[in-house]
Amino acid sequence: VPIHTALTRRFALQHPIVLAPMGGVSGGRLAATVSNAGALGFVGGGYGDLAWVERELELVAHGTTRPWGVGFITWSLTPQVLDLALRFKPCAVMLSFGDPVPWTTTIKASGCALFCQVQDRAGAAAAVTAGADFVVAQGTEAGGHGGRRSTFPLVPAVADMVAPTPVLAAGGVADGRGLAASIMLGAHGAVIGTRFYASVEALGHEKLKQEIAARGGDDTVRTRLFDLIRGHSWPARHDGRAVSNSFIAQWQDRQPEATRHTAELNDDFRQSQASGDVDGAMIWAGECMDLIRDVRPAAALVHEIGVAAEMAIRRAQALSA
Ligand SMILES: Cc1cc2nc3c(=O)[nH]c(=O)nc-3n(C[C@H](O)[C@H](O)[C@H](O)COP(=O)(O)O)c2cc1C
């Protein structure tokens, strides 16, 4: 029996699953594959590189006739990149990390649904005030940038706070049990990142995807190292969760020194990223790596996670029958 929620009804989805807008990883091919499989694909517009966004949005726009979206890191967004994205007629825009207010009028006037990804109650209140159609409550378990609260208590707290605005859970969901649990916590679906990084259609070196399949949640660390050496001005309350490796071990506690060598370190990790050298690359990934043991086609993931969640909910019903 399919799970019907405000998310599935709004976008006519088969499963209450959203592909996280992972910068540089959720490209147009992955987003289109996820949308074609009956979930909602988002392209990860990241810091808004115009050429990258244009190329990937062309791919998703030509790759599916189903609804899809695009996500941006709010504090880095510019009118130019938003205008470019809206020309491709997405159905949804997700804004994460920063004040959505300057962008909401343009996004809503285009007919897009506005998703705001938040990390705490203050962020949730700001999202509703800004007119969010969906609030994504992101726990610290998540891969990539985020905050300090955990998914399990944050999702129901935000759901209570922002009702009747529907909430989605992000952070730690990689299988049907996690999706079913998100629904039980009051969410209308889950935003899934790390699990889809380890998918055939994700952008990124094959060896980095295999590393996600090989490592576990104990092997992650929250870090600012990569932001520091890339010169990205992230607000102080956000760091990011990545796979720990020799590069992080070497520099994590020597950040003042790292700032004096940013050019070399930038070159080093970018080379590692391109060649798939897991010891030196920046591999954003979450605690749910424990549940990921292979790199799979994204459409199979959507189907398996969706069907397993339906079964988990049926099993839960049987407990009290
Ligand atoms: C590789 C990677 C890159 C990410 N990049 C972004 C991003 O550019 N913008 C954003 O809003 N969230 C980004 N995220 C966070 C996701 O939106 C989402 O909150 C997270 O993946 C959910 O947790 P999970 O990884 O446990 O599924 C990223 C996550 C990962 C794993």
Bridge partners, residue 114, by sequence:
93
pLDDT band at 98 (very low <50, low <70, confident <90, very high): very high
Question: Does residue 321 carry a pLDDT above 90?
Answer: no
Segment 282-296 shows an average pLDDT of 98
Question: Does residue 49 carry a pLDDT above 90?
Answer: yes
Say how far apart CA 184 and CA 313 lie, in whole Å: 9
Q: Which of 95, 140, 145 to mutate to test the pocket of ligand 1 (most atoms within 8 A of CB)?
A: 145
Task: At 140, list the tokens.
Answer: 């610290």
Per-residue pLDDT tens digits for 99-127: 999 999 999 999 999 999 999 999 999 99
| Residue percentage of the chain with pLDDT more than 70 | 100
Say how far apart CA 305 and CA 94 lie, in whole Å: 22
Per-residue pLDDT tens digits for 173-192: 999 999 999 999 999 999 99
| pLDDT of 187 | 98
In what side-by-side order are the strands of the sheet with 134-138?
17-19, 190-192, 167-170, 134-138, 113-118, 92-96, 68-73, 41-44
Instruction: Report the pocket of ligand 1 as residue ranges, CB < 6 Å.
Output: 20-23, 25, 44, 46, 71, 73, 96, 117, 138, 141-144, 170-173, 191-194, 197, 284-286, 288
Q: How far is the CA of 318 from the centre of ligand 1 (A)?
A: 34
Q: How far is the CA of 259 from the centre of ligand 1 (A)?
A: 25
Q: How far is the CA of 119 from the centre of ligand 1 (A)?
A: 12
**Which sign does the torsion angle of CA 177, 182, 22, 142 carry?**
negative
Q: What is the pTM of this model?
A: 0.98
**Mean pLDDT, the chain, integer:** 97
CA 13 to chain centre: 18
Q: Are 124 and 135 in contact (CB under 8 A)?
A: yes
What percentage of the chain's residues is helix, strand, coil (to nearest 5)?
Answer: 50, 15, 35
Q: Atom of ligand 1 at shortest distance to CA of 72?
A: 9
- Residue whose entry in the numeric block shows the structure tokens 């808004």: 48
| Residue percentage of the chain with pLDDT more than 90 | 98
Question: Does residue 302 carry a pLDDT above 90?
Answer: yes
Q: How far is the CA of 21 from the centre of ligand 1 (A)?
A: 6
Say how far apart CA 128 and CA 158 lie, in whole Å: 11
- Residue whose entry in the numeric block shows the structure tokens 């090989």: 214
Q: Whose CA is nearest to atom 29 of ligand 1?
A: 144
Question: Does residue 206 carry a pLDDT above 90?
Answer: yes
Say how far apart CA 60 and CA 72 lie, in whole Å: 16
Question: Does residue 195 carry a pLDDT above 90?
Answer: yes
Q: Are 201 and 30 in contact (CB under 8 A)?
A: yes
| pLDDT of 182 | 98
Say how far apart CA 30 and CA 253 lie, in whole Å: 36
Question: Does residue 1 carry a pLDDT above 90?
Answer: no
Q: Which of 284, 290, 292, 301 to mutate to test the pocket of ligand 1 (most atoms within 8 A of CB)?
A: 284
Give the ranges where the chain is alpha helix by DSSP (H). 6-11, 28-36, 50-63, 79-87, 101-109, 121-130, 151-162, 176-184, 194-197, 206-214, 225-230, 246-251, 255-259, 262-275, 298-319
| Cβ atoms within 10 Å, residue 311 | 13
Say how far apart CA 41 and CA 29 lie, in whole Å: 10
| pLDDT of 128 | 97
Per-residue pLDDT tens digits for 218-240: 999 999 999 999 999 999 999 99
Question: Does residue 257 carry a pLDDT above 90?
Answer: yes
- Residue whose entry in the numeric block shows the structure tokens 């209570």: 160
Segment 250-265 shows an average pLDDT of 93
